[in-house]
Copies of this chain bind each other. A is one copy, B any other.
């Protein structure tokens, strides 16, 4: 509990590593992965070679940052939430996105994800494929039911349907981009906004789906079988 005593602190390896990782997350989120190890060390109040005591290379530290930020936060109960037909789908989607945004709407998450994407790091693909499988697919399945269309057992999901779920998601996530990438103001009442957006979605998308299927079927009948 010796706080600002004298100059530098001597920590246990666990504490020091934790401290380095936490600061690295903040640091790389701010400046990107080209951020220099000397600057990071400076922010930590340690010397630069000490970083190499804990991580063999800058790259390994970056790798660690990815893991800390993304591979530790998925909430499996979201999947159950979506398919719980005891509540209206609108209510479920509002709850889902209000929770989801509470997790990922933060400086580090959004910016590191964007930096990683631009750099071509495949963690973005891995993460988004999980989102598609675990969130968008079930959402579309539920949408079929709400729209009074055949279940996905009978007629397999089409890419166009998935895109409508991506669209809902993208509209919401774009808020985070506006805030933490473009540094623009976004509404304070995020929960209210999500309510309205989901309401529009529920109001408009099932109709669009029926419209899409009707169009599709008149132009190109479903393959028999």
Contacts and interface: CB of A to CB of B under 8 A. Distances in A.
Contacts of A196: 160, 163-164, 208, 211-212
Nearest to A185: B159
Given A164-B197, A205-B200, A207-B203, A118 B111 contact: yes
> How many A residues are at the interface, by size bracket?
35 or more
A224 to B, nearest CB: 24
A184 interface: yes
Interface stretch (A19-27, A68-76, A120-128): A120-128
A171 interface: yes
Nearest to A167: B171
Nearest to A208: B200
User: Oligomeric state, in number of copies?
Assistant: 2
A125 B128 CA distance: 27
Contacts of A160: 187, 192-193, 196
A164 B212 CA distance: 23
Interface stretch (A10-18, A48-56, A173-181): A173-181
Contacts of A32: 32, 34, 118
Interface in A176-225: 177-178, 181-184, 187, 192-193, 196-197, 199-205, 207-208, 211-212
- The 3 closest A-B CB pairs, nearest first, are A170-B174, A204-B204, A203-B204
